[in-house]
Chain A
Amino acid sequence: MNLQELAQKMGLKLVTTAFDKEVRGVYISDMVSDVIANAKAGDLLVTVQIHSNVVAAANLLDLCGILVTQGKLPTDDVVKIAEKAEIPIYCTDLNGWQMATRLYEAGVR
């Protein structure tokens, strides 16, 4: 499933260019070190973190995108970094658990 299609289905708010990529899995974490150690290329990162280092980690690992939960929004600086790195960022008011269940119901494994 591609990320743009998934985002439309789930009503996620896009705050960068879409850079549409295939979603190969999901990794949920709020720690950059944990993401670097355990996430896999193609994963969608679900997090509450909006720090530039989250984009740095997503780019390093070639994650398909970042989904920021709990209504948080990245600053313009972070959006610019994500644009350069071609990492799409989506936002939702839902929390990590709610998002995880919806992603599973949408068929993401």
Chain B
Amino acid sequence: MSSESRAPQYEMVNVRDGHVIIEHDVRSRAVRSYFSAELTPPVEEYLEGQRLWRHSGAAQSFQFDVRDTASGEVIPFRELLGLMYYVCCREDSDLRRIGELAEAHRISIYVAITYETAEGEPTRLSREKAAVLNRLFNDRLIDKSKKILILPDLFGLYRDISYGQIMIDFGLTAMEESR
């Protein structure tokens, strides 16, 4: 069977709408985010050990799992905050330079940005899961001369990007943010 006619191996399942909630610790100024599937994004501040977490903002987003259509295995992607297209990165960044080179060969680079742990460090997206994401999106392309390459955040982008650069709907939830 040719790859042209092959059915996609993976499908997006268990799509859950919700919000990316961004909060900061008022004492250390540490910032972190998490996904909430509640209809109204939570805005209350709360204590966690020595830290007092206060709401900073919210963006509409979604979470999903991926199902292997052959084996039926469901792979959760709870650590995935969103994807960032390389062109949304700073012009002088390594990712931008690599992305420009790749795009000339019809390879579009995206970086998978993950949620932070309680300590503010990003959750690691495994190589296996990155491979599944790549397969999920590439199998669906009509244009077979084009490729999508989704990389884990090997660039430490989580440290200096803004949430507006990630493919989530930041700024569409002004009513929630103004409380």
Interface size range of chain A in the complex: 20 to 34
Q: B residues touching A (Cβ–Cβ < 8 Å)?
A: 12, 15, 17, 60-62, 64, 82-85, 87-88, 103, 108, 110, 137, 140-143, 146, 148, 166-169, 172
Interface residues of A in 39-58 (CB under 8 A from B): 40-42, 52-53, 55-57
**Nearest CB of chain B from residue A59's CB, rounded to whole Å:** 5
Min CB–CB distance A77 → chain B (angstroms)? 9
**Which listed residue, B12, B60, B146, touches A33 by the CB 8 Å rule?**
B60
- A-B pairs under 8 A by CB, number: 71
Residues in A lying within 8 Å of B, measured CB to CB: 22, 24, 30-34, 36-38, 40-42, 52-53, 55-57, 59-62, 81, 84-85
Select B167's contact among A42, A57, A85, beta carbons within 8 Å. Answer: A57
- The secondary-structure label for the interface of chain A is helix
Residues in chain B near residue A81, CB distance under 8 A:
85, 87
The answer to whether A62 touches B142 (Cβ under 8 A) is: yes
Contact of B137 among A32, A52, A60, A84 (CB under 8 A): A60
